[in-house]
A and B are shown apart, each in its own frame.
Chain A
Amino acid sequence: MLLPRVIPCLDVAGGRVVKGVRFQGLRDAGDPVERAQAYARQGADELVLLDVSATPEDRGNALEVVRAVRRVLPLPLTVGGGVREARDAEILLEAGADKVAVNTAAVTRPELLDDMARIFGCQCTILALDAARVADGWETVILSGRERTGLDAAAWAREAVDRGAGEILLTSWDRDGTGDGYDLELIAAVRAVVPVPIIASGGAAGPAHMAEALAAGADAVLAASILHDGHTTVDDLKRELRALGVEVRR
């Protein structure tokens, strides 16, 4: 039986971990290698590293961060941010990523997913989907939430999987960084249409939220603010998840 995963997320810019609310107001949250090692020691099941660099020059820094994290991390590493074509994904894999997440570029050119799945395999091809609530469901948003696409999030998830995405990193734009809990209806809506694993993201304030997301159909839960701010540790989260009846890796 696959065990639910707890996945710390490092948003990286300028060689540092940063974190904001609803993708805005970024503040410093530590050294990426130190954070990666700490989370690995605490029992993290995997790590996601998102390059949120604003400039092309900073992309080089992010690549150095991937290399440095890889040297110390004996866990799966998903990297996303700024991937436009298969060659960008290859550069990240060579630097030490195990999986590559694509977001905006997959919406503007969905064939990118077919290319990546063909060259690197679907288990390596992750769709990062940012969804905002609208009257009759959820709309896919891109460019860190700055642009709405008119694409129904569940329909887009389904298309992406048909094209070769092997996992979905599903972020609620409305909940990101708020601590109000994951958008459970969003998770259930996407779960209903895809067979691939879903990583729930956006809104976790604690283990109860995580248990809810897993019950709603997520296979993994992403957490950033609550870990970076030192409110809790992966150890504590897992202990509390077990107390809530969720079997997680020791």
Chain B
Amino acid sequence: MTEVVVIRTGTANLASVAAALQRAGRTVRFSEDSADAERAELVVLPGVGAFGPVVARLDELRLRDPLTRRIAAGRPTLAICLGMQLLAASSAENPDARGFAVVPTTATAFRDGLRVPHLGWNHITAGEGCSLLADGDAYFANSYKLDEVPDGWAGATTDHGGTFVAALERGPVLACQFHPELSGAWGQALIERWLDTAAGVV
């Protein structure tokens, strides 16, 4: 089990994600296929850009239901940045667009007067029950955020004019608002823990 499937969500920084997985000794296959999305052993769901266009693209590719089922079933999945916000029901970024609603929440904007985008390194604190996430400094690039760790998930938080969700985990499903692939040795170690944990459950 050395292959990781990276879902082609659009023009994301896929090369960076692939490079981090390759540094961890994995081979990477990009895919837009629904069977991969639901059944592949290891799936990374990256995402940059805007909420609305990305969910529209996933609908066009008929990936919404396979991905939602995959995450609900607890198959090893790493969602990154916008990929994490897709788990929410909706986003203030594009209020008419529908997320996967795996977590019953809405992504909100940062309040006025703050640096936006929230771009750079911020300290994250891992909450109770985290087994993958650890305290450390992570690299973020986001203008929207989830405000609370939902029931049934463990999570890490950070602060930018108020606390928000840095990452969520539930078994081998890890969703990061930050970019682990760009978060130095700490981020690389997190990716490797996810790969190891995933290996244990498949």
Task: Mark out the residues of chain A between 31 and 89 whose CB falls within 8 Å of any chain B CB in the assembled complex.
Answer: 40, 45-46, 67, 70-71, 73-77
Q: What is the CA–CA distance of A73 and B123 in the complex, to the nearest angstrom?
A: 21
CB of A27 within 8 A of chain B? no
The interface stretch among A116-124, A147-155, A228-236 is A116-124
CB of B13 within 8 A of chain A? yes
The number of residue pairs between A and B whose CB atoms lie closer than 8 Å in the complex comes to 115
Inside 8 A of B119's CB, which chain A residues have their CB?
2, 123, 166-167, 196-197, 219
Residue of B nearest to A94 (CB): B15
Q: Which of B14, B49, B114, B184 contacts A40 (CB 8 A)?
A: B184
CB of A220 within 8 A of chain B? yes
Inside 8 A of B16's CB, which chain A residues have their CB?
70, 77, 96, 98
CB distance from B118 to the nearest CB of A (A): 7
Interface of B is mostly: mixed
- Inter-subunit contact A119/B121 (CB<8 Å): no
CB distance from B183 to the nearest CB of A (A): 7
Per-position contact with A for B39-51: 1 when CB-CB < 8 Å, else 0? 0000000001110
CB of A3 within 8 A of chain B? yes
- Inter-subunit contact A122/B117 (CB<8 Å): yes
- Inter-subunit contact A45/B14 (CB<8 Å): no
- Give chain B's interface residue range (CB within 8 Å of chain A): 35 or more
- Inter-subunit contact A5/B120 (CB<8 Å): yes
Given A90-B11, A123-B48, A197-B115, also A76-B122 (CB < 8 A)? no
- Inter-subunit contact A1/B159 (CB<8 Å): yes
CB distance from A36 to the nearest CB of B (A): 12
Per-position contact with A for B130-162: 1 when CB-CB < 8 Å, else 0? 000000010101110000000000000001100
- Inter-subunit contact A74/B117 (CB<8 Å): no
Inside 8 A of B20's CB, which chain A residues have their CB?
74
Inside 8 A of B15's CB, which chain A residues have their CB?
67, 70, 93-97
- Inter-subunit contact B183/A74 (CB<8 Å): yes
CB of B199 within 8 A of chain A? no
- Inter-subunit contact B48/A2 (CB<8 Å): no
Q: What is the CA–CA distance of A70 and B15 in the complex, to the nearest angstrom?
A: 8
Residue of B nearest to A96 (CB): B15
- Inter-subunit contact A123/B115 (CB<8 Å): no
CB of A250 within 8 A of chain B? yes
- Inter-subunit contact A250/B117 (CB<8 Å): no
Inside 8 A of A196's CB, which chain B residues have their CB?
115-117, 119
Q: Which of B116, B137, B159, B183 contacts A250 (CB 8 A)?
A: B137
- Inter-subunit contact B48/A120 (CB<8 Å): yes
Q: Can you sample 16 A-B contacts with CB below 8 Å?
A: A1-B122, A2-B118, A45-B120, A46-B139, A67-B15, A75-B182, A90-B11, A93-B11, A94-B14, A95-B15, A96-B13, A98-B13, A98-B179, A123-B143, A196-B116, A196-B119
